[in-house]
Structures are given as C-alpha cells and as structure tokens.
Amino acid sequence: QRIPDGVGLADYEALARERMDPQAWAYFSAFAGKGITARANVAAWDAIALWPRVLRPVADLDLTTVLFGRAWPSPLLVAPMALQQLAHPDGELATALAAAAQGVGLVLSAQSSVPMEKVIQAVRGDAGRGPLWHQLYFQEGRAATLEQVRRVEAAGFEALVLTVDASVRASRAGVVPAGTGAVPSSASLREVLQQAPTWDDIAWLRAHTRLPVLLKGILHPQDAREAARLRVDGVIVSNHGGRTLDSAPATALALPRIAEAVGDALPLLVDGGIVSGTDILKALALGARAVLVGRPVIHGLAVAGAMGVAHVLRLLSDELELSMAQCGLRRPADADLDLLQASSQ
Ligand code: FNR
C-alpha cells in the first residue's frame, strides 16, 4: 500500500474506513451506548487552552521520557488493541515494527492476533525503541492468570498492564466477559461477575511478579489512591475509549483529579480521544507522564500497514515537538498546570 500524497492525521480515519471491510470497521469504531463518553473524550481535550510562552531557548528540545527508571525516546505508546489482523494482514507485527522505528512504546493486547513471542522478537533488539509492555485481563482466575504472566515475563516484556474496566461489557449478543473479542459468546451477567477480579486479586498479582504492574481503566481518584496503597507501579487513566461504561467521564476530566489525589506516588498515563500533538501536550500538563494512542494507530495500519502506523506516529511526534517549542518547553516533564492556567506568579 501507498500513503497518498499530502495525507495528514485528520485524513486517516476516512481513508481507513474506505479500505476496511465493513465488519472490521464496525468493530474498530464501536463505542458503548450512545457514544457519550467516546465523544466527551475528544471534546474535553478540545476545550482546554494552551498558554504559550515565547522567547525561551528550546534549541535542545527532545522528547526523552523516564518510566520505571529508564529513559525512553518518547512519551508516546500505542494503546493495547485486540485483533489487529482485522485491520491489516501484518497486524500487530506491523504496529510493533513501526512503533519501534519511531521510538514509540507498545502495549500488546491480551488478544493479539499475532503470538506475543513473535511480536517481541521482531523489535526487542532495536536500540531506539520505546517500552514493550503486555496487557492482560484478570478473568479466568488466579492459576490461569499466573500462567499468562509467566509467559509474558519469559517473552521479555517490561511491564504488565492489567485492564480493570472491562470485566463485563454489553454486546449485541448480550453480556460478555473481558477478552472475548469481536465474536463474543453471551453469558448471564451473574456468570460473568463470578469471574470478575477485585482489589484482593491486584494485591495478589503485585506479590507474584517482579515486573512493574500498571492498572488500566482507573477514573475515580479514590481508586487511584487504592492502587497506590497496594503498591501498584502505575495507573493508566482510561475509559477504554468510551467502549465500556457510557457516561463515564472524559479522561481529560479524570486525569487532573487523579493527579491531585496521588501526587507523585506513582506515574500516571492517560488515553482516550488523543488525536493531535496538542492533545498530548495537554495530557502531559495535566499530570500524565506518558500518553497512549489507540484508534489513530489502527487507521494508519488499515491504510498502509507498518508504513501507515509509522507515518501516524511520526506526525503525532512532530506535532508534539512543535507545540512544545511554541510553548517554550524543552522536555515533556517540563509541562505543568501553568501551561493551562496562566498563573501570574
Ligand atoms: C481497544 N482497547 C483495548 N484495551 C485493552 O486494554 N485491551 C484490548 O484488547 C483493547 N482492545 C481494543 C480494541 C479496539 C478496536 C479499540 C478501539 C480499543 C482500548 C484501548 O486500549 C484504549 O483504551 C482506547 O482505544 C482509547 O484510546 P483511543 O482509541 O481513543 O485513542
């Protein structure tokens, strides 16, 4: 596939829709309920203003980002998204190669359509790559979860991302547990809830792996506090792109409250509706250490495989650098609330 001339970030969604088969498109673009949360995610980033600072020296601007004691080239990661071969035959392999080439991190979905060992082997040795993390659902009980954790550790992933906001969700077929993908089998709500994890399982998991553990899908500040109390290593503020609870708050609203509740106790990441470099900068200013991008990556994948993903990630990184320069910031970590509030102190 070729990337048509002059294509920018805003064009990818429409191009992807043209190229994907309708069923795949329906899966990737789905949202819960009326789409209230999915729309709110985008609108909430849009509603935030950036207050630029001028005449500051930014010639040595770079995107270096420290996570879990290691410096990475960028504060960007690809969000875990299931079944990427539905978007392109190269699937997760293309996404991983493109992310590594751009210095962007990767969170591989529990429902990768390419085996995790194959994905990590393709990119692990790349010196300029970003973090390689693996996402899990805690669904089938502790023994099955531990088996999965050991496989992820053996493959060489550098952190575990436990998704906690999708233990149960609605689908056209009825209620489905996490990790049942595009063709779910229905079950009774009560059956599904029998399997749903609780905080005890998080404490248990934290005690059973040496890898950093992040919880993905935290919105309430008190849940973030509980995560910190249980020595979870990081929190990803997320509403699953508006695909689970419709009417959950936009992540741009939840993030600052969580940052206020937990301070520097653990790194915060965020995703949901981030589609531009200025969105990323706003997230950093609100307290995120790094940012995950989901659907824009799938659109790049559908349009032109690894080349499309690399292009989307390049455009996002370039926009981030440009907006940092325009705001007088040299490092992602230099972004703070003053960028949004313009205090006179
Ligand atoms: C997802 N998401 C997701 N999350 C997760 O933890 N495990 C998964 O397997 C998936 N699968 C998945 C598939 C598809 C098609 C989408 C769109 C999303 C949620 C994802 O990681 C992220 O939280 C959201 O997509 C929000 O980011 P965007 O898409 O608004 O940038």
Note the pLDDT of residue 190: 82
Feature table: binding site for FMN:
80-82, 109, 135, 163, 216, 238, 294-295
What pLDDT, on the 0 to 100 scale, is given for residue 51? Answer: 98
Could you give the CA distance from residue 158 to residue 233 in angstroms, rounded to a whole number? Answer: 12
pLDDT at 183 > cutoff 70: no
- The pLDDT confidence band at residue 2, using thresholds 50, 70 and 90, is confident
The pLDDT assigned to 192 comes to 80
Cα–ligand 1 centroid distance for 81 (angstroms): 5
pLDDT at 167: 78
**Angstrom distance (rounded) from CA 301 to CA 162:** 24
Q: Is 222 exposed, middle or buried (0-12, 13-18, 19+ CB in 10 A)?
A: exposed
pLDDT tens digits for 62-106? 999 999 999 999 999 999 999 999 999 999 999 999 999 999 999
Given a cut of 90, whether residue 161 has pLDDT beyond it is: yes
**pLDDT value for 139:** 74
| Mutate-to-test residue for ligand 1 from 27, 78, 81, highest number of ligand atoms within 8 A of CB | 81
Q: Which atom of ligand 1 is nearest to the CA of 161?
A: 6
Annotated binding site for glyoxylate: 27, 137, 172, 240, 243
pLDDT digits (tens, 9 = 90+) for 231-265: 999 999 999 999 999 999 999 999 999 999 999 99
Quick one: average pLDDT of 327-334? 98
Rounded to the nearest 10 degrees, the angle between the axes of helix 295-326 and helix 22-29 is: 50
Is 240 known to be catalytic? yes
Which ipTM was obtained for this model? 0.99
Point out the catalytic residue in the list 88, 208, 220, 240: 240
Asked if 268 contacts 289 with a C-beta cutoff of 8 angstroms, the reply is: yes
Q: DSSP string spanning 185-215?
A: PPB-HHHHHHH---HHHHHHHHHT-SS-EEE
Per-residue pLDDT tens for 101-158? 999 999 999 999 999 999 999 999 999 999 999 999 987 789 999 999 999 999 999 9
**pLDDT given at position 179:** 66
Distance 109 CA to ligand 1 centre (A): 9
Query: Which pLDDT does position 14 carry in this prediction?
Result: 97
80 lines ligand 1 (CB under 6 A): yes
Closest-CA residue, ligand 1 atom 6, reads 163
pLDDT, residue 180, reads: 64
Cβ–ligand 1 contact at 278 (below 6 Å): no
**Is there an atom of ligand 1 within 6 Å of 65 CB?**
no
Ligand 1 proximity of 145 Cβ (cutoff 6 Å): no
Residue 226 has pLDDT above 80, yes or no: yes
**Cα of 160 from ligand 1 centre, angstroms:** 16
Q: How remote is the CA of residue 147 from the centroid of ligand 1, in Å?
A: 23
- pLDDT of 186 above 70: no
Query: Does residue 57 register a pLDDT over 70?
Result: yes
Q: Tell me what percent of the residues of the chain surpass a pLDDT of 70.
A: 95
Which pLDDT band holds residue 196 (cuts at 50, 70, 90)?
confident
Q: Tell me the pairing of strands 105-108 and 168-171.
A: unpaired
pLDDT in the model for residue 166: 85
- Mean pLDDT rounded to a whole number for the chain: 95
